[in-house]
Structure 1
Amino acid sequence: MALASRAAHILVASNRGPVSYAVGDDGTLTSRRGGGGLVSGLSAIGPDAGAVWVCAALSDADREAVRRGVAEPGTRMIAVEPEVFEAAYNGIANSVLWFVHHLLYQTPLEPAFDEDFRRQWAAYERYNAAFADALAEEAAPGAAVLVQDYHLALVPALLRERRPDLRIGHFSHTPWAPPDYFRLLPDDVAARVLEGILGADRAAFLTRRWADAFAACCVSVLGASLSEDGRSVVHRGRTTRLGVHGLGADGDFLRERAHREDVGERISVLRSEVGPGRKLIVRVDRTELSKNIVRGLLAYRLLLHDHPGWRSRVVHVAFAYPSRQDLALYRDYTAEVFRLAAEINAEFGTGDWLPVILKVDDDFPRSLAAYRLADVALVNPIRDGMNLVAKEVPVVSDHGVALVLSREAGAHAELADDAIVVNPYDISATAAALNTALTMPEAERAARTKRLADAATALPPTRWFLDQLEALRA
């Protein structure tokens, strides 16, 4: 298949695209399409809209597809040198920008920005420039371009230099760090990241809190000014409007998918593992440092210690799917999750009761099964741009669920009124919140669940995407 024609009127740019490739034993390339909010959004505009998705070649098979000139309709895959991708993706995006926005550094020891950082930063610049070049080539005059996330923070300004005729938007799926923490970055790098996003006509975020933090960084680092309503940043004669789009759950898809046969099979297995008559505290996360799985386990252990009546009557079902295992810090964190779960089971478990059921192999139908059965959903991130698990569980719950929710999750802005809100660092308060959730009257739990589900589906992925597109074109 030939590359997409160079006349796209709508373009999306993201590190990970909608398709990936595999090479068979005979050398044949096969493709696999993924899902998610952007895929749903692009499908909503129809096949005749002239849309192209520009993404990175993430694997050797992806790079082979680019080398052969193979592409799915409506996609443009970029293959940079593997060492450049590694330095840009793991060295800068995931080990610096992610850490800054999620406040993850142990500042007595890190960060330390040395010559190795500068080498990685140069790769990040090259990576962003490759995206800007591809978008400039693909875009029709006056096209709308939606650039996604911290991997591509420099793209809007670079693309503006190449194609000033385009309407450019940038969306941040992560939190945004407050100025004092953002300024951990070297001064020139902090300025480059902000000026990169300010190259867009519109910069959008998941919550007003993150948008306000970005604006505050622009003022603090760049000396930019804000409009009277705080909804636009003015810098060097250009105005970038700020937007907020709180991505919601796809209720129709989740309800249908949660009642397929494979989910029913996993419900039977899970019930057998848990045992009859026991309540379920459920969490579903990646083993990402910001998800706070370890403190969640510590809070559960404290619950069993302080409220011994729950022993043998509750099970913590923890699905912790591997994330970024090519980074040593993430491997160590995953090992600590394993260690602590085993410690709790050894301390409190009996012959017929396993207090913690920990699963680390990714299984979406099993996650949906746990959603349906959960009495309590524990979502306690240190910091999270949104957290869709908090929105998905109430949507598919069979009998109502009590949501224990970190105030540092973006979802807090929409769900706080009907959740039990916790400080994610306070293990004692989280243990108390779990007890409150487990003892919540059935009628109250059902009423809260309905309101949570309504709020969670207020801006489904298709509408979320189209709202951004319409706002950019306005």
Structure 2
Amino acid sequence: MLLWSKPMFLPPRMGASRPRRVRCGPMIGIEQYTRRLLRDYHPIIAANRAPVDLSSNEGEPARFVRGGGGLVTGLAAFAQATGAVWVASVRDGFEAEFDLGAEGEPMQIDTADGSRFQISWVSPPRLAHDMHYNTIANPLLWFVQHYLWNLAQAPVLDASTRRAWDDGYRRVNQMFAAQVVREARRGRKRPLVLSHDYQLYVLPRLVRRELTDAVIHHFVHIPWPTPQYWKVLPQYMRDDIMDGLLAADIVGLQTSSDVRNFLLTCEENMGLPVDFRQQTAFYRGRTVWVRNYPISIDVRGFERSAASPAVERAEREILRWRPEHLIYRVDRMDLSKNIIRGFYAFERLLEAHSEWRTRVTFWAMLQKTRQNVPEYRDYARQVQQVVRLINQRYATAEWQPIRLELRDDMERAIAGYKQFDVLLVNPIYDGMNLVAKEGMTVNRRGGMLVLSENAGTHEELGEWAITINPFEVDATAEALHKALVMDPIERHTRAEKMRAVVQQNDIARWISAQLQDIRDLLEPTAARRPDLLQETI
């Protein structure tokens, strides 16, 4: 057995490249379908995050690479198929490395994998950006929408919160809206604006004021909480949010529960008439469609990445230290991911079932995030402290219970997906959680998914996963034990069922469902043609 001479916390690998993404099959079909459907419209994407990242290896000039994450995965094919301009916020380091264009002119960017994007940059003043992103969006809105506030103590909202809302959040949204309007007026076709997520909640109203004939679709990637929990926010803020979103023609959310909560928020907090059966809200003489579109992954592209030489090299390295059984997780160090309770559950597993000691390792591959927000810095320290304590208590000369790696290395993460026996996904609340879908897509060991009932993914995969309440650490420990001792035939059967669900409901379906609703909105008398869609994809 391997002697643990390596440090407990492995440093991040700087400049790690991501697997080349190859468009194939369904994605090409969706691009063709999109071109036909939107040939008479001028599409514009608005998202806080750009579809590209900066990558710099030592001794080499910085270059743009295609970004990661569900939003980029979902919209990249759409953007390239239609030539849509992507309006995004400038991120730290971009200004120093590149000329990002003047007078709002879109910048054409070619990435290493052959993708091409037209990006129109929004560059807010530093103070406005800080108030927008680091005060209102994170943590205030993020914590509300993931039920993270300890309400006996926080948040404390005062005049500075109002200033951050007016001079930060609203101002940045106004800058985004101005850029969207500018791009719309460059074209000669009817604008189709696809805005995204919690950073841009008031943008639809600002755009609607200038472009009354625009078709606006806003998609929320994170959970939509109950109307009661929204009352953590002051009325001016939550009314602004709802007024902004209800200026859209379609509001998209991840799950059917999110849709219900949104309609309840319209009804209870705004006093609006809603139709739960038809999933519509009525506001200012307009009918707003509220729909769920569960985001997913490019299954074929991800499988090709899993077979790449870089992933295979990483997998060979893992096999040199891999124990008899491997529990795995991949996450950002976000409070919503519930990482510490996951470690506590593993500790309870070792206490209750001592036979697993020295036979199973919990490998956690984590990335620090939002370290300019105090709550996230504190949480990262707490995570590492918990790991130290558990390892100090249970480690032997030849075995370390928890292997914690702090790094952003996509090839290694995918190699871990291929090797796990149990994948733990236990968020407090999560809009979707693509880790569950990625892991079940490429694992061929009959790996079992232990899944929080509060993850959006549970709506699709919960029937075959082992479901847990994310707050019950003893029950989570027993779920891990159940997964480890499950009959191999049952494990493989369940894994195949989950893989089939992901394959059927892939990223192409996420895009096509939204396109079909946009088509029905634009052409209300036209019957749906699912057969046409099947032919194209």
1:116–1:46 Cα change, 3 Å: closer
How far residue 203 of structure 1 moved from its aligned partner, in angstroms, is 0.1
Displacement of 1:327 after TM fit? 1.2
Are 1:115 and 2:159 an aligned pair?
yes
Q: 2:193 aligns with which of 131, 136, 145?
A: 145
Tell me, in whole angstroms, the C-alpha distance in 2 between the residues paired with 1:24 and 1:444.
45
Letter in 1 for 2:82: A
- Are residue 207 (structure 1) and residue 255 (structure 2) matched? yes
The corresponding residue for 1:125 is 170
Aligned twin of 2:107 = 71
Provide the secondary structure at the position in 1 that maps to 2:99.
helix
AA at the equivalent of 1:137: R
Counterpart residue number, 1:177: 225
Distance 1:21 1:370 in 2: 25
Pick the aligned partner of 1:99 from 130, 143, 147: 143
Distance 1:15 1:74 in 2: 15
TM-score normalised by structure 2 residue count: 0.83
Match of 2:206? 158
Which residue number corresponds to residue 312 of structure 2? 264
Cα contact 1:38–1:461 (8 A) shared by 2: no
Is residue 375 of structure 1 aligned with residue 421 of structure 2? yes
| AA of the residue aligned to 1:125 | R
What residue number does 2:132 align with?
88
**How has the CA–CA distance of structure 1 residues 368 and 20 changed in structure 2, closer, same or farther, with 3 Å as cutoff?**
closer
Question: 2:74·2:297 contact (CA, 8 Å) conserved in 1?
Answer: no
Once the two structures are superposed, residues 383-417 of structure 1 have per-residue CA deviations (whole angstroms, 9 ceiling, x without a partner) of 00000111111110021111100000000101111
Aligned to 1:10: 43
Rounded Cα–Cα distance in structure 1 between residues aligned with 2:70 and 2:515: 14
Amino acid at match of 1:324: R
SS of 1:65's partner is coil
- In the TM superposition, residue 220 of structure 1 has moved relative to its aligned partner by 1.4
Q: Tell me the amino acid that sits aligned with residue 360 of structure 1.
A: L
* Paired residues of 1:29 and 1:65 also in contact (CA < 8 A): no
What is the identity, as a one-letter code, of the residue corresponding to 1:77?
W
Say if 1:466 and 1:62 are closer, same or farther in 2 by CA, change over 3 A: farther
Are residues 137 and 171 of structure 1, via their aligned partners in 2, closer, same or farther at CA, if it must alter by over 3 Å? same
Whether contact under 8 Å (1:12, 1:53) holds in the other structure is yes
SS at match of 1:110: coil
Moved more, 152-161 or 247-256: 247-256
Whether contact under 8 Å (2:51, 2:76) holds in the other structure is no
Give 1:433's aligned amino acid.
A
Report SS of the residue matched to 1:472: helix
2:120 maps to amino acid: R
**What secondary structure does 1:15 align onto?**
coil
CA distance in 1, matches of 2:383, 2:58: 37
Q: Distance in 2 between matches of 1:35 and 1:272?
A: 28
Partner of 1:4: none
Equivalent residues of 2:427, 2:452 under 8 A apart:
yes
In structure 1, the partner of 2:28 is none
Mapped to 1, the partners of 2:56 and 2:465 lie a distance apart of 46
| 1:66-86 residue CA offsets vs partner (Å, 9 max, x unmatched) | 365672252111111111111
For residues 236-247 of structure 1, the aligned pairs below 5 Å read 236-247=284-295
Distance 2:330 2:78 in 1: 31
CA distance in 2, matches of 1:473, 1:391: 28
**Deviation of residue 457 (structure 1)?**
2.7
Is residue 361–residue 401 contact of structure 2 (8 Å, CA) maintained in 1? Answer: yes
Q: 1:30: how far off?
A: 4.4
Alignment partners' CA distance in 2, 1:25 and 1:291: 32
Q: Percent of aligned pairs with the same residue? A: 35
Secondary structure, aligned partner of 2:430: coil
Structure 1 distance, partners of 2:55, 2:315, is 32
Summarize deviations over 1:81-120 as a string: whole Å, max 9, x none: 1111111011111111101000000111111111211121
The correspondence for 1:223, drawn from 257, 265, 271, is 271
Residue from 203, 226, 249 that aligns with 2:297: 249
CA distance in 2, matches of 1:168, 1:291: 31
What do the CA deviations read for 1:273-301 (whole angstroms, capped 9, x no partner)? 334xx100001110000000000000000
Deviations 1:204-250 (A, max 9, x none): 11101011111111111111111251500112212110111111222
Alpha carbons of structure 1 residues 24 and 389: separation in structure 2 relative to 1, 3 Å: closer
Q: Give the CA RMSD over aligned residues.
A: 2.2
Matched residue, 2:369? 323
1:17/1:53 contact within 8 Å kept: yes
SS in 2 for 1:212: helix
Number of matched residues? 465
CA distance in 2, matches of 1:195, 1:454: 39
Aligned in 2, Cα 1:371/1:199: closer, same or farther, shift over 3 Å?
same
Gaps of 5+ in 1: 1-6
What TM-score do you get using the length of structure 1 for normalisation?
0.93
Q: Trace 1:38-53 onto structure 2 (pairs within 5 A).
A: 38-45=71-78, 47=80, 49-53=82-86
Aligned counterpart, 2:27 = none
Alpha-carbon distance change, 337 to 395 in structure 1, aligned in 2, over 3 angstroms: same
Unaligned runs of 5+ in 2: 1-39, 109-116, 521-537
Q: Is the 8 A contact 1:37 1:465 kept in 2?
A: no
Determine the structure 2 residue equivalent to 1:56. Answer: 89
Q: Is the 8 A contact 2:106 2:120 kept in 1?
A: no
